[in-house]
């Protein structure tokens, strides 16, 4: 099957006043992809998502969802896209059943009422509860149910697990996995919780200060970003020469290197050339890798314990 591109951006740029929020984003998300969209605070994730959904107008560039320009999304296209807003903003005065009725009106043919009811039951919610009386997590569950029940082709979620505890997050991700299992469905979700991304995504896009810094398969990212500790008997060398060096940290006897795309053989060669007594590759999780990958090049230490 030829991969169909469901989400495409070209040079997407957005200024808020004179602040550059998103800078020439080029993305191509194929059908069936589960894409984790990660970045630090104020990196531009929400802005990028809103641009894609046509809620903001780009300063430059363009974006297409399901082949339709984002600034002119037709009702028919919107019907095929599910969107979970940041913070799960819903109408507080509505009850869950009223929300369902409201949402269903926009998906007359494709609404899966049975699935919605099952999800609500699964999450342990009462249908007549008003949204304003729900907790953050419960609201997130309702949002997910509302977004999944129309069986969308493309699901865009902006930080869907924000503020949720671990148990609720696990439930939430279960719902996501449900949709993953439906063939041809595509998900784009932004998150601060790299564990969630690691659990479900097969592709990762890292955005830093409005610029895409990584857009690859999750495995590629996991493999590429490494932390190597070189231990020295005597003094630590002042300069290190190796391709893919991102950061270098020194202590009395050790050199900590963050490398991108460096193979094991290159690392061994470096250890030998610098005269390191021994070296090891630190086992990092995705969160550690993300932090190191997006850390500023000249970073200081804030806390005293970091110097130890």
Partner 1 sequence: MRFLALLKKELRECLPWAVSAAAFLLLFGSLELRSRLQRDVDEYQYRVFERYSEVSGYELGKYPLGDVGLLVFVSAVGLGLALGVRQFWFADFTGTWGFILHRSTHRTTILAAKICAALISLIVAVGLILCYLFWRASLPDYSPVPPPIGSLIGGWMICGIGLLFYLGAGLAGLSKARWYTTKLAGLGFTVWMFFTFTQQWTLWWSFGTLVIGTGVLLYLMWETFLKREF
Partner 2 sequence: MAKRNVLEYVSRPAEAVIALILIMFIVFFAQFLVTELVWLYTYEKPSPPIYPDDPQWRIHRAAKHFLPDGTMHLVHRTDAQDDGDYTKEEITDVNGDILWQGIRKERPFKYLEWESSPREYAEFYGEQQISRMLLSPPLPCVLEVPVKVGEKVKEVWQYDLEAQVFAGYSIKVGLMGYLGANGFALSKAQAQPLGKFEGLALWTDEDPSSIVMLGVTKRRIYQIDFRTHKVETVFDSGQTDIESIRWHRWRPMNPKDSNSSDIQYRPLIDCRTADRRQHLIMREPNQVLTVELPEQMQTRQTSGHWPFKVDFTATSDALFMQYRENHFNPPKSHKLLEQYQREYASKPRPQSLQLYKVIDDGKMELVKQLDWIRPVWEKPYPADSREIIMKWASTMSPPVFDLLWYLFGDSLYEFGSEGVSTMRMMQAYAVIIIEFRPRYSSLNCVLSTAMMMIAFWHGWSRRTSWGKLFVWLVLVGAFNLAGLLAYLALNHTTVIKCPVCGRGRGLERVDCVRCGAELPVPERRKLDLIFDT
In terms of DSSP H, where are the helices of 189-247? Answer: 194-200, 218-224
d(CA 160, CA 163) in angstroms, rounded, equals 9
Nearer to partner 1, 85 or 171 (CB): 85
Residue 55 touches which member of partner 2, partner 1, none, C-beta under 5-8 Å by kind: partner 1
Q: Which residue from 131, 108, 107 is spatially nearest to 120, judged by alpha carbons?
A: 131
Residue 242 contacts partner 2 per CB under 8 A: no
Residue 236 CA from chain centroid, whole number: 37
For the record, the structure tokens of 96 come out as 């869950």
**CB closer to partner 1, 87 vs 195:** 87
Question: Three-class SS of residue 211?
Answer: strand
The stretch among 102-110, 182-190, 220-228, 249-257 that binds partner 2 (CB under 8 A) is 220-228
In the list 101, 126, 133, 213, the residue contacting partner 2 (rule: CB under 8 A) is 213
Q: Can residue 105 be called a binding residue for partner 1 (CB under 8 A)?
A: yes
For residues 86 and 202, which CB has a smaller minimum distance to partner 1 in the complex?
Answer: 86
Cβ-contact 252, 307 below 8 angstroms: no
Is residue 295 part of the contact set for partner 2 (CB under 8 A)?
no
The CA distances from residue 105 to 79, 144, 193, in Å, are 11, 17, 33
CA distance 65 to 78: 9
Binding map of partner 1 across residues 76-95, x = CB under 8 A, - = no contact: x-xx-x-x-xxx-xxxxxx-
- Given a contact cutoff of 8 angstroms between Cβ atoms, the answer to whether 25 and 207 are in contact is yes
Q: Select the residue interacting with partner 2 from 90, 134, 214, 276 (CB under 8 A).
A: 214
What residue ranges bind partner 2 (CB under 8 A)?
Answer: 11, 13, 15, 17-18, 23-24, 28, 30, 33, 59-60, 69, 71-72, 203, 206, 211-217, 220-221, 224-225, 244, 246, 260-261
């Amino acid at each position: 099957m030829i991969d169909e591109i469901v989400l495409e951006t070209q040079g997407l740029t957005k200024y808020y006043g004179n602040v550059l929020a998103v800078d020439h984003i080029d993305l191509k998300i194929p059908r069936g992809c589960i894409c984790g969209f990660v970045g630090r605070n104020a990196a531009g994730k929400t802005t990028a998502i809103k641009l894609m959904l046509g809620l903001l107008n780009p300063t430059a560039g363009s974006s297409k969802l399901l082949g339709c320009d984002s600034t002119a999304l037709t009702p028919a296209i919107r019907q095929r896209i599910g969107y979970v807003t940041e913070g799960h903003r819903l109408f507080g005065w509505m009850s869950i059943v009223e929300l369902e009725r409201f949402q269903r009106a926009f998906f007359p043919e494709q609404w899966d009422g049975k699935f919605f009811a099952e999800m609500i039951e699964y999450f342990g919610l009462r249908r007549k509860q008003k949204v304003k009386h729900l907790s953050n997590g419960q609201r997130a569950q309702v949002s997910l149910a509302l977004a999944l029940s129309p069986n969308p082709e493309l699901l865009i979620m902006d930080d869907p697990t924000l503020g949720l505890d671990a148990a609720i997050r696990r439930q939430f991700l279960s719902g996501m996995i449900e949709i993953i299992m439906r063939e041809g469905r595509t998900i784009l979700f932004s998150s601060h919780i790299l564990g969630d991304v690691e659990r479900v995504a097969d592709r990762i896009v890292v955005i830093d200060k409005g610029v895409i810094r990584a857009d690859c398969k999750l495995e590629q990212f996991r493999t590429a970003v490494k932390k190597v500790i070189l231990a020295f008997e005597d003094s630590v060398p002042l300069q290190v020469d190796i391709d893919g060096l991102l950061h270098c940290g020194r202590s009395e006897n050790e050199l900590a290197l963050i490398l991108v795309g460096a193979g094991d053989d290159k690392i061994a060669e470096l250890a030998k050339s610098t005269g390191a007594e021994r070296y090891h590759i630190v086992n990092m999780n995705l969160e550690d890798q993300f932090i190191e990958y997006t850390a500023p090049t000249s970073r200081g230490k804030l806390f005293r314990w970091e110097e130890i």
